[in-house]
Amino acid sequence: MTRLLGVLLMVGALYAVDMISFPTAFTTDNHQILARRLGYYGVLTLGVGALIVSGGIDLSIGSLVGLGAVAFGYLMSEKHWSPLPAAAVVVAGSVCVGLFHGLLVTRLRLQPFLVTLCGLFMYRGLARGLSLKTINLPHESVQPRAEWLREVLVSDKTLGFPHILWLLAGLTVLVAVVMHVSVYGRYWYAIGYNEQAARYAGIATDRHKIAAYVLCSTFAGIGGVLFLLEFRSATPSSAGELFELYAITGAVLGGCSLRGGEGTVLGMVLGAAVLPLLSQICNLSEHIGSELEYTVIGGALLMATISNELVTRFSLRRARA
């Protein structure tokens, strides 16, 4: 509860700074932009946050987003697929990637850091292999339903909120039910907190760890589809670049411990809300500038990590006392 309150106060403070410091930020259009960015970053943060809770990590998210965006556009533009089957293939491929990661980590006992670091290079290379040129969202004359799907998933609004934010809300409820209500979520927390004890307790740790990797990669695949729909183009060499930084930062800011076993779905969403606010403050500020955006986000991740470590140590001392 203390961590949730802390990240809520951080979001409120950043929002106040953004609105007060930059008059152009206090407009309906700008709030729509912030909402869409929250929807996008939130989807990725939910996936990696659930994985972190189970004791895993995925450094390939950004490259997988890029590969998904390029593959989605390639299937529509070059192969003339309809958007829905193309999106389904991209998401199904992402499921296979998560299964691949999970099997390497559980069956071969490879380190998650190394497995997903290799994936970071592999999936970026596959994206470049599909196309060396920028892939654009097909024009209506080429693929009439592409713009329709963009409106349905991203740009249209219901009750004043963009659909991508409603999509995040739906996925948040789904992940919250899995993690906080179902027995599977309790297993993930137990595995992340102490995998050996969870195994001795009769939990099928390998199977549940694989499921966490599949969830993370699936959400990254969804993120790839949303990337092309949101930005209308994807460059194979840079689409989704460093998005793993955004996702992991959002999860850690929201209270997920990199040691595993800690974190809440609400905290993940609140942590993701910090990212578009930080990015906008950097871009609008004359003293910071967009050049230092990654520095600011990296600093926020470092501060969150230090904060989580101090809170953990303080809790352990109180428990021993």
pLDDT digits (tens, 9 = 90+) for 46-89: 999 999 999 999 999 999 999 999 999 999 988 889 999 999 99
- Tens of pLDDT along 288-305? 666 777 787 788 778 777
Find the helix or strand (DSSP H, E) in which 227 lies: helix 205-231
Supply the pLDDT for residue 103: 97
Strand partners, 158: 161
pLDDT, mean of each 10-residue run, the chain (321 residues): 77 86 83 90 96 95 96 92 95 97 96 95 94 86 81 87 94 96 94 94 94 97 95 92 89 88 92 88 72 77 74 70 62
Tell me the C-alpha distance between 208 and 230, whole Å. Answer: 32
Query: What is the spatial distance between Cα 16 and Cα 8, in angstroms, rounded to a whole number?
Result: 12
Report the distance separating Cα 215 and Cα 151, nearest Å. Answer: 25
Distance CA 267, CA 264 (A): 5
Give the residue from 93, 57, 78, 33 showing the smallest Cα distance to 225.
Answer: 93
Q: Which residues contact 69 (CB under 8 A, 6 or more apart)?
A: 135, 224, 225, 227, 228, 234, 239, 240
Cα–Cα distance measured from residue 282 to residue 262, given in angstroms and rounded to the nearest whole number: 30
Compute how many other C-beta atoms are within 10 angstroms of the C-beta atom of residue 26: 11
Q: pLDDT at position 280, please?
A: 85
* Residue 44 · residue 243 · CB < 8 Å: yes
For the chain, the domains span 35-240
Amino acid 25: pLDDT: 81
- Residue 206's contacts (CB-CB under 8 Å, 6 or more residues apart) are 106, 107
The Cα–Cα gap between 268 and 49 comes to 7
Residue 275 pLDDT = 87
Q: Using CB atoms within 10 A of its CB, is residue 132 exposed (0-12), middle (13-18) or buried (19+)? A: exposed
Question: Where are the strands (E) in 218-290, listed by range?
Answer: 233-234
SS3 119: helix
> What pLDDT does residue 155 have?
81
| Residue 1, pLDDT score | 65
Residues 263, 251 contacting (CB under 8 angstroms): yes
Q: Note the pLDDT of residue 170.
A: 96
Is residue 112 a contact partner of residue 58, using CB atoms and an 8 Å limit? yes
Q: Give CA 212 to chain center in angstroms.
A: 13
